[in-house]
Amino acid sequence: MSRLRRGMLAAGVVGLIGLSGCADLGYYWQSASGHLHVMRAARPVPQWLDDPSTSAALKAKLELTQRIRRFAVTELGLPDNPSYTGYADLHRNAAVWNVVAAPPYSLTLQTWCFPVAGCVGYRGYYDEALAQAEAQSQRAKGLEAAVYPVPAYSTLGWLNWAGGDPLLSTFIGYPEGELARLIFHELSHQLVYASGDTSFNESFATAVERIGGGRWLATQASEAARTEYAQFDARRQQFRALTLATRQRLQAVYSSPQAKAQDWAAVEEQKRAVMEGFRAEFAILRSGWPPRQQAAYDGWVARANNAAFGAQAAYDDLVPGFEALFEREGRDWPRFYAEVRRMAALPKAERHAALQAGAALTAQHSEREKEASRTP
């Protein structure tokens, strides 16, 4: 990358994050310099493919990503731009580390506000030590905090002029189905983004990745890839069902009569029982998995708290509403995206209510169909 291009990119990143005051200058600088490092490490995929030092396994993955990228554009209507046409080896296990925080008796995440992204329920760091320090500062305020690695992130298309978001070593080794889902998810953020609404944005992208990933596996993947993904996803669905049930139990505790009466000792005891039950149920679930895959969620479970559960909810809670919307729009991608854009322009509470109502109607219709099928 030329010196001039590096300077233009630096200006673009600074403009994107919006340096706005000495108090956050250090944070914004690490964001800008961290992203610059990622962009400097990226080279166009054809260069990697032509490089004799590139391993055969990496070449195969890179070629696969370009097929996935074309499918995203031609079949899912996702943006056709420079994103994911380059690759960077970051020599670390995460692109960034996100910090999330929540009160002791709530799953509502602490938010941080930025000029472009709006107020979001996480704060990202390119250095894990800085993320851990931020988490500790949140704990000092009386909040529960968690740090989790993020394999990819989106610049929302703002830096496509500079090469876009690259493929990264942090996720290039994923199973085929999961690799496709991740690319679909991140490209979705470039299509529709509601400033300050993490749950809407992440649930939309998750819905696109699930629907699009299913189509990829059904029409493009080999039988071996489908089998590999089915095994991977089965464990994830089991774990997701367990964490959803736990979130619901925690929500019940935090809205209980004891909580309303501010009897925090009783609430703490109920919370402790829910968490102990969660870990006991996970141990049973884990024991049924193949030995080499049993440790996949161990770290998350050991550190699980309100912040971790709240962050997970942002990716899951509105997904049924988006999936129902996709069905109502005739499984037509342009119509679906147009309706999502319309919703994104609504007030936050209104768009959430519409998605939740749509999901409820679809669930009721599905239940009636099941009942009808059981009737002689």
d(Cα 292, Cα 263) in Å, to the nearest integer? Answer: 44
Mean of the per-residue pLDDT values of the chain: 90
Decide if pLDDT at 364 tops 90.
no
d(Cα 137, Cα 343) in Å, to the nearest integer? Answer: 36
Structure pTM?
Answer: 0.86
The confidence band for 108, taking pLDDT boundaries of 50, 70 and 90, is very high
Query: Any idea which of 30-44, 244-258, 286-300 has the lowest mean pLDDT?
Result: 286-300
Residue 15: Cβ-neighbour burial (10 angstroms; 0-12, 13-18, 19+): middle
- Residue of higher predicted confidence among 291 and 191: 191
Q: Which residue has the tokens 């169909």?
A: 369
Q: How many residues in the chain? A: 376
Q: Which of 359, 337, 340, 336 is nearest to 351 (CA)?
A: 340
Going by the DSSP 8-state scheme, the letter that residue 108 receives in this structure is: P
- Residue of higher predicted confidence among 163 and 275: 275
pLDDT in tens, 286-325: 999 988 777 889 999 999 999 999 999 888 889 999 999 9
The pLDDT of residue 149: 94
**Beta-carbon-side half-sphere exposure of residue 106 (alpha carbons within 13 Å):** 11
Decide if pLDDT at 17 tops 70.
no
The pLDDT of residue 367: 58
Give the ranges where the chain is alpha helix by DSSP (H): 3-17, 25-41, 45-50, 56-76, 128-140, 176-191, 198-219, 223-254, 257-260, 264-287, 298-303, 306-316, 319-328, 333-344, 348-374
Decide if pLDDT at 11 tops 70.
no
The confidence band for 15, taking pLDDT boundaries of 50, 70 and 90, is very low
User: Residue-wise over 157-187: b if at least 16 C-beta within 10 A, else e?
Assistant: bbbeebbbbbbbbbbbebebbbbbbbbbbbb
d(Cα 75, Cα 70) in Å, to the nearest integer? Answer: 8
The pLDDT of residue 375: 57
